[in-house]
């Protein structure tokens, strides 16, 4: 099958059936009976999802792909959402239901897909799929690494993340410029945040925006008391703080404001 991919939609169609199957098998199938695939394209992954016990829904922005899927997978047709994932209100389609997300994601919007998933984490116990390798690594990376950053800290505050395997450009049509990586995120048993979420996001983002500086100077804009800024933690740079330590730091800042 030859396809004319639409570059602005991040279309890189997977040609390797074994890799498609391995991605489909990456979900543990625990804690939900519904799965949403983002960006099914011509359905290379979808056909393996349809063999599973759960109910598969797909969301695809490209109307040509939607038409192809409607004509090819007749049973799936009522559960094809012909929309932009970033624009939908998830509760319009899934109400309060628990569901997993999977996909060979459009790389141009992959971090936005992760942030939207985090916003809806109360309904999303599991998330797995393929990203450009660098993004997959950034999500999964631990403190001390150059790749550890905003995405790592915020995703790992709510999910346990595992980097599963690397995929070469040659198995895509057209091949992307970079390698790809598959990760799985499983929501933590207790994923409640003991601090204000907005403040936590702000602390993490502000700290990493000047990642080579000590927190004492990168967090200056947050108007902290002199006393708090003497705390030893403020002599560290953001990549030296674990997720737990970022939560503790947020808690210190929260109390400082009282
Ligand atoms: N899963 C397929 C296609 C991957 S390419 C495969 O592995 O071969 C990424 C797919 O995401 C494309 O089909 C593209 O049309 C779709 N897409 C891009 N932006 C999207 C968006 N905002 N919402 C839903 N689908 C999107």
Q: Are residues 11 and 124 in the same domain?
A: yes
Do 114 and 231 have their domain in common?
no
Asked whether residue 182 falls in the same domain as residue 230, the answer is: no
- Domain residue limits at 115: 3-187
257/142: higher pLDDT: 142
Asked if residue 192 belongs to a domain, the reply is no
43-70 confidence digits (pLDDT tens): 999 999 999 999 999 999 999 999 999 9
Per-residue pLDDT tens for 195-225? 999 999 999 999 999 999 999 999 999 999 9
- Closest C-alpha to ligand 1, atom 19: 9
Q: Is pLDDT of 94 > 80? A: yes
Judgement on whether residues 87 and 67 belong to the same structural domain of the protein: yes
Same domain, 183 and 248: no
Ligand 1 centre distance from Cα of residue 251 (Å): 39
* Judgement on whether residues 65 and 140 belong to the same structural domain of the protein: yes
In this model, does residue 134 exceed pLDDT 60? Answer: yes
Q: Which of 144, 161, 187 is the last residue of a domain?
A: 187
> In this structure, are 157 and 206 located in the same domain?
no
Ligand 1 atom closest to the CA of 62, numbered from 1:
15
The answer on 205 and 169 residing in a single domain is: no
CATH number, domain at 214?
A: 1.10.8.100
CATH of the domain at 47: 3.40.50.150
Mean pLDDT of 86-91: 97
**CB-based contacts of 78, cutoff 8 Å, min separation 6:** none
Q: Is residue 15 part of a domain?
A: yes
Question: Among residues 139, 166, 187, which one ends one of the domains?
Answer: 187
In a domain, residue 26? The reply is yes
Query: From ligand 1's centre to the CA of 107, what distance in Å?
Result: 9
Count the domains in the chain. Answer: 2
Residues 230 and 121 in one domain: no
> In this structure, which residue's CA is closest to atom 20 in ligand 1?
61
Q: 153 CA distance to ligand 1 centroid (A)? A: 26
- Residue 177, domain member (yes or no): yes
Residue nearest to atom 11 of ligand 1 (CA): 39
Nearest atom (ligand 1) to Cα of 107: 9
Same-domain check for residues 130 and 174? yes
Is residue 203 domain-shared with residue 93, that is, in the same domain? no
Please identify, by atom number, the ligand 1 atom nearest to the C-alpha of residue 9: 18
Boundary-marking domain end, from 135, 155, 187:
187
Does position 108 have pLDDT exceeding 60, yes or no?
yes
Which is the closest atom of ligand 1 to the Cα of 12? 5
Residues with CB under 6 A from ligand 1: 9-14, 38-41, 44-45, 59-62, 65, 84-86, 104, 106, 109
Same domain, 202 and 183: no
Q: How far is the CA of 73 from the centre of ligand 1 (A)?
A: 17
At 75 the pLDDT is: 95
Give 41's pLDDT tier (boundaries 50, 70, 90): very high
In a domain, 163, yes or no: yes
Say what the pLDDT of residue 51 is.
Answer: 97
């Amino acid at each position: 099958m030859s396809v004319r991919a639409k570059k602005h939609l991040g279309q890189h169609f997977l040609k390797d059936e074994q890799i498609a199957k391995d991605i489909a098998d990456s979900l543990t199938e625990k804690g939900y009976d519904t799965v949403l695939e983002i960006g099914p394209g011509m359905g290379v992954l979808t056909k393996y999802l349809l063999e599973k016990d759960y109910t598969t829904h797909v969301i695809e922005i490209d109307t040509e792909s939607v038409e192809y899927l409607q004509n090819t997978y007749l049973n799936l047709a009522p559960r094809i959402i012909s929309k932009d994932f970033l624009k939908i209100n998830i509760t319009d389609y899934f109400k309060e239901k628990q569901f997993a997300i999977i996909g060979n994601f459009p790389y141009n919007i992959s971090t936005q897909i992760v942030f939207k998933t985090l916003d809806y984490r109360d309904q999303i116990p599991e998330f797995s799929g393929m990203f450009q390798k660098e993004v997959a690594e950034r999500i999964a990376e631990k403190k001390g690494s150059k790749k550890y950053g905003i995405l790592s800290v915020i995703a790992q505050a709510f999910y346990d993340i595992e980097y599963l395997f690397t995929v070469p450009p040659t198995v895509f049509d057209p091949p992307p410029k970079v390698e790809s990586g598959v990760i799985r995120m499983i929501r933590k048993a207790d994923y409640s945040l003991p601090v204000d979420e907005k403040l936590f996001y702000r602390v993490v983002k502000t700290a990493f925006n000047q990642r080579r500086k000590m927190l004492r100077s990168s967090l200056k804009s947050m108007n902290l008391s002199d006393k708090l800024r003497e705390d030893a933690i403020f002599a560290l740079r953001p990549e030296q703080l674990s997720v737990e330590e970022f939560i503790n730091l947020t808690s210190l800042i929260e109390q400082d404001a009282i």
